[in-house]
Amino acid sequence: MIDLKYLQNHFDEAAARLSKKGVAEKTLEELRERFETLKAANQRYENARAEQNRLSRLFGEYKRDGKDIGELQEQVGRLKIEVNDYQEEARKAEEALVALAMGIPNFPDENVPEGLDEEDNVEIRRVLEPRAFDFQPKEHWELAEANGWIDFERGVKLAKSRFALLKGQGARLQTALINYFLDRNIAKGFEEYAVPFMVNSKMLEGTGQLPKFEEDLFKVCDEDLWLIPTAEVPLTNIYHDEILPAEELPVLMTAYSPCFRKEAGSAGRDTRGMIRQHQFAKVEMVAIAHPEKSDEVFEMMVQQASDLLTELGLPHRLVELCTGDLGFSAARTVDLEVWLPGQGKYREISSVSNTRDFQARRAKIRFKDGKKNRLVHTLNGSALAVGRTLVAIMENYQQADGSIEIPEVLKQYL
């Protein structure tokens, strides 16, 4: 959650930063109104308490001096009810403010390029040259069906549209990629975790998926359990409401998980193939970092994702997201986009984000800084999205006869 004290004390400055991320002026005005409502409610409560304390002292004096306390006793009784009422009013006003604030996105970093959408993102650099084909490259769904790697029709039969069934070499290659990514992440200092694939509402609130993005999540009926949209959620919340020793930072974690997303709002986009699925495999990196070291950790994580693609021989580019294209929790994001010759374009395969203290404030993740407790910074990134890597291998390593070569670094896993 955003820092409400900063927002209250520097409202115009904060509102200007939030407007760059697409927060409507109407929402910002409502936020200001709720601040004023809470301020007024707190003032009434404090005034009533002060009067209650004054009367309580006077009550003691009256008793000590033998004065009639009947009328004063009635005043104290009425004031006690008022204090309780004002306290409840202030509590409800604070709840209303927090409820609105939970739907307000993180502030973008000052050096994030301004823009409205993905068209305004800024390319940082390109890595590896795309291969020059002497034949017309096919798209991945043609190659997958021709080689018997993926069965799209039976995936739909088993579930519904946007589900796929991997089999044979396709299934083995997915497992190989998962193990390869985990091994390389571990070698970089990340500790592997095997996480639950379902979490409760509190965990999704901690990382920012709830309450704003409920429509994009799959919920278990009659249970406070949700299928995870990414391993970022359980990994980050391992330290939910905990205080870490400063010397343990950064905490680097990695995990494989299936990811489940309704893909609300993506109707008609990438309906063929495996680019946009309701269930997909991903290996995630998460870091819990000291605020003064999070930029350093961020650059390491971006490089790690890029190195994985380079070792696989997959051309890609790094793109700095503009303010209008940043995710809800992100203060800064670099996307890695892999070249897909069948489509003739770069497509996102990893997104590395620094959320600063946004998630930590929601999830109450702190560290001991001397005698004080401070909020950590949390970071997350894909290393990598397995299905899209499989797609990229099929398209970049396809041969004229329709067969597919296997990248050298994966052969030991097969």
Q: Point out the residues that are catalytic.
A: 261, 276, 348, 351, 388
Among 401, 171, 364, 138, which residue's Cα sits nearest to residue 272?
138
Determine how many CB atoms are found less than 10 A away from the CB of residue 63. Answer: 11
Q: How many whole angstroms separate alpha carbon 167 and alpha carbon 148? A: 7
Phi-psi region of 397 (alpha: psi -120 to 50; beta: other; left: phi over 0): alpha
Among 254, 208, 221, 218, which residue's Cα sits nearest to residue 365?
208
Determine how many CB atoms are found less than 10 A away from the CB of residue 148. Answer: 11
